[in-house]
Structure 1
Amino acid sequence: MAGTVRKKMSRFNSMISLDEVSRIVKAYSWKKLSTVEVETATSVGMIAANTVVATKDFPPNPRSLVDGYAIRSAETEGSSPADPSRFKIVGKSEAGKGFYSAVSGGESVEIYTGGILPEGLDAVVMAENATVSGDTITVSSSVKAWENVASRGEDLSAGTVLVSSGNIIKPWHLPALTDGGIDRLTVFSPMRVAVLNTGDELFPDAPDHIENSGMSSMMALLPWRFSNTLWIGQVHDDPDDIARAVKESSDRWDLAIITGGSSLGRKDEVPEAMGIAGAIEVFGGMRTKPGRTTSLYSLDGKPVLSLSGFPSTSILMADLIVEILLEAITGVSGYRIRERLPISSDITTGSGYTRLIPGTLVEMNGRTMVAPASSNRGMRLGSLLNSSGIIIVPEWVEGYHSGDLVEFRLW
């Protein structure tokens, strides 16, 4: 038994850094996700598979930026309160209903924000800068050409990049895509994520039975707009059972996540299971606390992520590694935001491991700072409850003083 334990523990003698994990995962030849074409209006939250450019100018015609009166700017040259310019109002232009009749000298068109500028006119006098009397306006100052006018293509011109490959489609992309002439675009199909929980203790007949709380957290890991999650069950601490569950479901997932069965002791069953399944180890063990036993495998070019059975650790490490995998497989950018923020209090971590510490955004003395949320007893679920993200302390840093800038990865 002791020999078996030593053999299993020995594979963690070559743990790699978080930076090395990122480099190795991004360089690996993963199987790509399929793509699908969707309507622009339904694409929010999906990941663009191609770079999309505008196919037309917007606005397609000069339009007014304000409510007022469209005129010829040259006819206001030298205008003053003592010698104002006067224009007859001959029509109206509003968004969706323009004025297309000829406009002669000394004439103006009442215009509303978004209205197309009538042909031959080149400026708009704001309503509050004109005096109206019947069907005539008086302008008491000169107006520059194209004042208060959006020229054709000023907002978007044909060829403008609207969405880059790997961008997550946000609500503000939709009007740009629509106005740029894009009614459909190609996105990555939702990543199919399989979750397998392992552990004798998860079964009701176990002497020390515990609830499978890790299932729901893994099932909710990724936003539903670019993932579909499948629970493939819970199995005992048996390599054959683990291998069978992963292998037999492999045509239904793009990423498999296994919780439990990865430890520094004798219940390190996942490596043997992955060997039985025919998977290749990409890395085994990380120099992070928590998360030292985190490992990654490739089964037919698809990632299998092995995590601790502790829910707090598995949540944190899954979120961290899946972000790297998403970038490697789809090129996604901006999945998680990182900031450099001052820390609110001293922390001592010791060097040798990258420390991952839950933190909460706080306001102190007019500054936004990050306050460490975990205790010296290690990662606990309670430390995640009110956290805003994770403080990442590099492995060569032994701690920080209050006010030092730290890397903060927001949820």
Structure 2
Amino acid sequence: MRPSRVTLEQAQELFKTCMPVRKKEEKRSADCLGQILAKPVYAAVTQPPFPRSAMDGFALRSRDICRADIQHPVTLEVTGCVCAGQETEFMLKPHQAVRIMTGAMIPEGADCVVKQEDAEWDERAVRIYHNAKPGENYCPAGEDFSAGDLLAEAGTPVDSYLLAAVTAAGVRNLTVYKRLKAAVITTGDELQNTETPLQPGKIYDANGIWLCTRLREMDCEVVRYQTAGDDQSKIADEIREAWKEADLILTTGGVSVGEKDLLPGVIENLTGNVLFHGIQVKPGMPTMLSVVKETPVLSLSGNPFAVEALFEVLAGGYLTDMEASRYLQKNQMKALKQTFVKTGEMKRIVKGRCDESGVYLPQIQKNGQLKNGIGSNCLVIFPEGERTYTEGEAVRVIRI
């Protein structure tokens, strides 16, 4: 017997319950780009580890030049030069200065750096034409962070900034979530890949490409992508192959009640357990979730926006949340930037584009459209019931 339709919220919970717990791994930090931190990261060393100069100039004691100006320059003895990467043992005495380069260690006794443009000098002496305050052009040890400081919480994506920070902090390894392995199987005899000229009655498989790329954006590894047509045995074979290595199988098409809607029969023949078949939402009402050989199979409608919307609201939270540390899909309330007429009694999902001022919705929201998704960065979920939403009214937005 076909399970009854569930609410969108029930579908989200059922999806989470059947997904595996994300595994963790420790690996070289440089190899973690794009993954998600599974443990917080703390600095192993202080950055900078010593006081350093912010520019080329002269390290000195600010009180020695407190009266310096254009009319009354102050002359100091130059006792040496320090370049970046050198250790210095200079100990400045009153009325002494050290020539210093950007990034170099500031000698003991100096509390500021006068930039070279404000001075005249030779090997023995420097004439200063401007006074300087303590700490001017002076980067203290630990200006960025100190050893033991928290650099990033668990749940933070590993990007170029994080890798730069942990490298400076002396962190060699990170603990991250293992990349979830996903398989994508698209169905329908009408689908064709882009390597051959488009044949009459055919369309290119945009759904498969969208799912594969979106999964990679969410730090998943796509281990298999195949088009199975409308062939029940081939669809079953593809699922059998996929469950050998995939943590999640995604299918598109074939989940409604037509002659070519083969997925329910395939899952039954594979002795899969159907958790739900049908969601009280538009688009994507026929969406089905099942478990085959302990592997979740999320079967999406064949309409492009139904694929996109239901994937985001069902799988997006799980794939980006990583055990509740940082939920990248933000549920917010945003003001509409124009009137929107919602038709139909069922809960509805539409695509949109939002910024700080509110959310804009394309007026034409057809399930087969792809072009109006370019530049979109959110979904808007309207509750049940027909009504007109006016400009300025707050609506529920999921940031993508």
Query: What TM-score, normalized to structure 2?
Result: 0.82
**SS of aligned partner of 2:120:** strand
CA-CA distance at 1:299 after TM superposition: 3.9
Cα distance in 2 for residues equivalent to 1:139 and 1:210: 75
Verify the 8 A CA contact 2:60 2:110 in the aligned structure 1.
yes
Partner of 2:5: 14
Amino acid at match of 2:171: I
Where 2:156 maps in the other structure, the secondary structure is coil
What is aligned with 1:358?
Answer: 351
**Aligned pair 1:236/2:230, yes or no?**
yes
Identity among equivalent pairs (%): 25
How far does the alpha carbon of each residue in 1:43-84 deviate from its partner, in whole angstroms, 9 at most, with x for none?
322222322211111111111234432112343456566765
- Other-structure match for 2:90: 101
**Which residue of 311, 314, 322 maps to 1:318?**
311
Q: How does 1:18-37 map to 2 (within 5 A)?
A: 19-26=9-16, 28=17, 30-37=19-26
Residue aligning to 1:4: none
DSSP 3-state at the match of 2:30? helix
Amino acid of the residue matched to residue 5 of structure 2?
S
Q: Deviations over 1:346-384 (max 9, x none)?
A: 10215754422223469xxxx8554322526x3232453
Number of residue pairs matched by the alignment: 391
Q: C-alpha deviations, 1:183-211, integer Å up to 9, x for none?
A: 232333332211122345559xxx96655
Partner of 2:195: none
Distance 2:325 2:276 in 1: 22
Q: Give the corresponding residue for 2:197.
A: none
TM-fit CA distance, 1:141: 3.2
Give the corresponding residue for 1:402. 391
Q: Which of residues 349, 362, 380 in structure 1 aligns to 2:368?
A: 380
**Alignment equivalent of 1:293, drawn from 271, 276, 286:** 286
Partner of 1:215: 208
Q: Does 1:62 align with 2:44?
A: no
Equivalent-residue separation in structure 2 for 1:58 and 1:94 (angstroms): 18
Q: Which residue of 1 aligns with 2:120?
A: 132
**CA shift in 2, pair 1:352/1:158, >3 Å:** farther
Q: 1:235 to 1:108 in 2, by over 3 A?
A: same
Matches of residues 113-262 of structure 1 in structure 2 within 5 Å? 113-128=102-117, 130-134=118-122, 135-138=125-128, 140-141=130-131, 143-144=133-134, 146-199=135-188, 212-223=205-216, 226-229=219-222, 230-236=224-230, 238=232, 242-262=235-255
Residue number in structure 1 paired with 2:296: 303
Report the Cα distance in structure 2 between the residues aligned to 1:164 and 1:136, rounded to whole angstroms.
Answer: 48
Structure 1 unaligned regions, length at least 5: 1-6
Q: Report the Cα distance in structure 1 between the residues aligned to 2:51 and 2:373, rounded to whole angstroms.
A: 52
- The aligned residue for residue 41 of structure 1 is 30
Secondary structure of 1:196's match?
strand
TM-aligned CA deviation for residue 166 of structure 1: 2.5
1:172 aligned counterpart, secondary structure: helix
Deviation at 1:246, TM superposition (A): 1.8
Give a deviation string over 1:92-120, Cα, whole Å, max 9, x none.
33432354333332111223332221122
Residues in 1 aligned to 2:295 and 2:104: alpha-carbon distance in whole angstroms: 53
The residue correspondences of 1:246-285 to structure 2 (distance < 5 A) are 246-263=239-256, 269-285=262-278
Partner of 2:136, secondary structure, is: coil
Task: Tell me by how many angstroms 1:178 deviates.
Answer: 0.4
Deviation at 1:267, TM superposition (A): 5.6
Aligned-partner Cα distance in 1 for 2:201–2:128: 88
Q: Is the 8 A contact 2:18 2:296 kept in 1?
A: no
Q: Which amino acid aligns with 2:280?
A: R
Decide whether aligned partners of structure 1 residues 111 and 275 sit closer, same or farther in structure 2, where only a CA change above 3 A counts: farther
Counterpart of 1:156, as a letter, is F
Aligned 8 A contact 1:81 1:141 in 2: no
Q: Is the 8 A contact 2:381 2:397 kept in 1?
A: no
Inter-partner Cα distance in structure 2 for 1:242 and 1:142: 76
**Other structure's SS at 1:222 match:** helix
CA distance in 2, matches of 1:383, 1:142: 59
Contact 2:347 2:382 in 1 (8 A): yes
Shift of 1:300: 5.0
Q: In the alignment, residue 95 of structure 1 is paired with which amino acid? A: A
Please tell me whether residue 345 in structure 1 is matched to residue 335 in structure 2.
no
1:393 equivalent in alignment to 2:381: yes
CA distance in 2 between counterparts of 1:86 and 1:281 reads 86
Match of 2:349, as an amino acid? L
In structure 2, the gaps of 5 or more residues are 193-199
Post-superposition Cα deviations, 1:119-176, rounded to whole Å, max 9, x if no partner, equal 2222223445x332433132543522x3332222220122222233232211111210
Cα displacement (A) at 1:392: 0.8
Q: Secondary structure at the match of 2:338?
A: coil
- 1:155 match: secondary structure: coil
Report the alpha carbon displacement of residue 335 of structure 1 after superposing the two structures with TM: 4.5
TM-score, normalization by structure 1: 0.80
